[in-house]
Amino acid sequence: MKVLNQPVQLPILSEKRISLHIKREDQIHPFVSGNKFRKLKYNIIEAKRVKATKLITFGGAFSNHIAATAYAGKENGFKTIGVIRGEELKGKWQINPTLAFANKQGMEFMFVSREVYKQKQLPQFIASLTNEFNNSYVLPEGGTNDLAVKGCEEILTPEDSEFNVICCAVGTGGTIAGIINSANENQSVIGFSALKGGFLSQDICKFVHSKNWKIQDIYHFGGYAKVTSELIHFINKIKEQTNVQLDPIYTGKMIYGILDLVRRDYFMPGTKIVAVHTGGLQGIEGMNDLLKKRKLPLINE
Ligand SMILES: *Cc1c(COP(=O)(O)O)cnc(C)c1O
């Protein structure tokens, strides 16, 4: 998959003499996050190799990974089962755009309470699922495992060696781990955490060997999937200025963080940055439904 690096022109970038490109992984598919495809690629090959017929995975109501697994599962002839956090969604998933999309791809749901959902990594819980759904291949929440990291090692290409800094949004850390493994030693990788709390670095360390990376953890806007009017105005403004649509959970917060670091002279003049647009655009519709209820500004699409 060859993906465009789109140059971005903004007054703050020319003032500080920083070059910024956005790697348009979001263009891999209009609805499904680019990085989620990458994370599924080798897992699907493995699932076929072990002759599984079903994919089971886990996620919240707006999960990009749930949408991607449903779509890729259908494309590859697997049944898909989504273990979804929140029993309250049971008769109501039809009005949730992510779950409605996943169901349209054939995904079957199992709604579980938040307490049960917490067991998602426990061997007994996974065994109970594979007993119930035979011939199944289980993908962890967010899709992160060794094979997912291997898929994300294909995000950077040899042409990207012209960049000094590579930026990416971080959830479970699988995507950035792949990027770190394929970056040159003279490049530095910066992850922008979508989560509050400093536990991510350990998760990433499990998958990488080099040390040329860092997590910025102050651009989460209150925590995972939390948004403010400021963030929404920022996303809308970037869309006007660059024609790039950012998502509110990952890439909007990353680009906000990058431009804030530029403003604060974090990068030396002349630095060439590439920021990976991982996608996530399927989540905008559901987020706008929430914003409407809370009488907050909406994300322009
Ligand atoms: C899942 C996701 C991420 C984070 O990927 P991880 O591998 O979980 O760190 C970033 N951006 C988008 C759009 C995503 O859907």
DSSP 154-165: TSS-GGGGG-SE
Chain segment 41-72, per-residue pLDDT in tens: 999 999 999 999 999 999 999 999 999 999 99
**Residue 51 has what pLDDT?**
98
Looking at ligand 1, which atom is closest to the CA of residue 170?
9
Answer whether 284's CB lies under 8 Å from 299's CB. Answer: yes
Q: What SS3 class is residue 110?
A: strand
What's the gap in Å between 15 CA and the centre of ligand 1? 31
Chain segment 151-184, per-residue pLDDT in tens: 999 999 999 999 999 999 999 999 999 999 999 9
Q: Whose CA is nearest to atom 14 of ligand 1?
A: 280
Which pTM does this prediction carry?
A: 0.96
Q: What SS3 class is residue 98?
A: helix
Other CB atoms within 10 A of residue 162 CB = 12
Going by pLDDT thresholds of 50, 70 and 90, the confidence category of residue 1 is confident
Substitution candidate for ligand 1 out of 3, 29, 33 with most atoms within 8 A of CB: 33
Share of the chain above pLDDT 90, in %: 91
Chain segment 175-222, per-residue pLDDT in tens: 999 999 999 999 999 999 999 987 788 889 999 989 999 999 999 999
Question: Taking CB atoms and a 6 Å cutoff, what residues make up the pocket around ligand 1?
Answer: 33, 35-36, 64, 142, 144, 169-176, 247, 250-251, 278-280
Is the Cα torsion angle 101, 284, 144, 89 positive or negative in sign? Answer: negative
Substitution candidate for ligand 1 out of 62, 64, 179 with most atoms within 8 A of CB: 64
- DSSP bridge pairs for 79: 54
What's the gap in Å between 173 CA and the centre of ligand 1? 8
Chain segment 248-294, per-residue pLDDT in tens: 999 999 999 999 999 999 999 999 999 999 999 999 999 999 999 99
Answer whether 253's CB lies under 8 Å from 217's CB. Answer: no
Looking at ligand 1, which atom is closest to the CA of residue 144?
7
Torsion of CA 209, 138, 41, 203, to 10 degrees: -20
Q: Whose CA is nearest to atom 5 of ligand 1?
A: 171
Residue 226: Cβ-neighbour burial (10 angstroms; 0-12, 13-18, 19+): middle
